[in-house]
Homo-oligomer: A and B are copies of this chain.
Amino acid sequence: MINKEQIAAEYQVIQDEICASLEALDGKSTFEEEKWEREGGGGGRTRVIQNGNLFEKGGVNFSAVHGKLPETMQKALKVNHEDFFATGVSIVIHPNHPMVPIIHMNIRYFEMPSSPQTIRWFGGGIDVTPHYIIDNDARFFHSYLKTVCDQFNSAFYNRFKAWADDYFFIKHRDETRGIGGIFYDRLIATDELSWDDIFEFSKAVGRSFIPIYSELVNRNREKSFTDDQQQWQYQRRSRYAEFNLVYDAGTKFGLETNGRIESILMSLPPTAKWLYNYQPEPGSEEEKTLSLLKKGINWV
Contacts and interface: CB of A to CB of B under 8 A. Distances in A.
Contacts of A275: 50, 57, 270
Which of A264, A268, A276 has the most chain B CB within a 10 Å cutoff?
Answer: A276
Give the oligomeric copy count: 2
Interface stretch (A109-117, A130-138, A180-188, A234-242): A234-242
Given A245-B242, A246-B255, A255-B246, A261 B57 contact: no
Contacts of A274: 57, 241, 265, 268-270, 272
A124 interface: no
Nearest to A57: B276
A247 to B, nearest CB: 10
Interface in A259-289: 261-262, 264-266, 268-277
A255 B271 CA distance: 24
23 contacts: A48-B276, A48-B277, A50-B275, A57-B274, A57-B276, A171-B255, A172-B255, A172-B258, A172-B261, A241-B241, A241-B245, A241-B272, A241-B274, A245-B246, A262-B277, A265-B274, A270-B273, A270-B274, A270-B275, A271-B271, A271-B273, A272-B273, A272-B274
Given A238-B268, A241-B274, A271-B273, 11 more contacts: A59-B276, A171-B255, A172-B264, A241-B245, A245-B245, A262-B277, A268-B274, A271-B271, A271-B272, A272-B273, A272-B274
